[in-house]
Amino acid sequence: MTKTNREDRGATIDAQFKALSDGTRRALLEHLVREGEQSVHALTAVSGVSQPMVSRHMAKLKRAELVTVRRAGRETFYAARAKGLAPVVQWMAVYGALWSQRFTALEGIEA
């Protein structure tokens, strides 16, 4: 992997962790995963926050490549990107295995 690809991947993962650090954004993304494509109005109804706040949250999820956007007339629809979380999942798999090995080693020392 070239330095530019690593930097791009790192920037994507950073944006995704930042986007997922907010509970409202996580809830909106989870709703899209469960229910499929939804309009901003539908997301506003289930989120408990104002329409402008939903739009801001969705813009952050879009920048993090976690959702796609479709316009139909005056309505905006969002859908979860099927492969959107792949970079985070891959990162967590690598570091999860590393930490698992370290915890196992620590347990061996304590025994």
Residue 82: count of CB within 10 angstroms of its CB: 9
The Cα-based distances of 103 to 47, 92, 94 in angstroms read: 38, 16, 15
pLDDT in tens, 8-28: 677 888 999 999 999 999 999
Tokens of 30: 């989870």
Nearest partner of 79 among 32, 46, 40, judged by Cα: 32
Q: How confident is the model at residue 53, as a pLDDT? A: 97
Q: At what angle do helices 86-110 and 3-20 cross, to 10 degrees?
A: 80
pTM here is 0.76
Rounded Cα–Cα distance for residues 21 and 86 (Å): 17
Q: Determine the residue type at 95.
A: Y
CATH number, domain 3-110, options 3.40.50.1360, 2.30.30.830, 1.10.287.90, 1.10.10.10:
1.10.10.10
Q: Provide the residue ranges of all domains of the chain, joining segments of one domain with +.
A: 3-110
Q: For residue 2, what pLDDT band results from cuts at 50, 70 and 90?
A: low
CB 11 within 8 A of CB 19: no
Nearest partner of 62 among 49, 41, 77, judged by Cα: 77
CB 97 within 8 A of CB 104: no
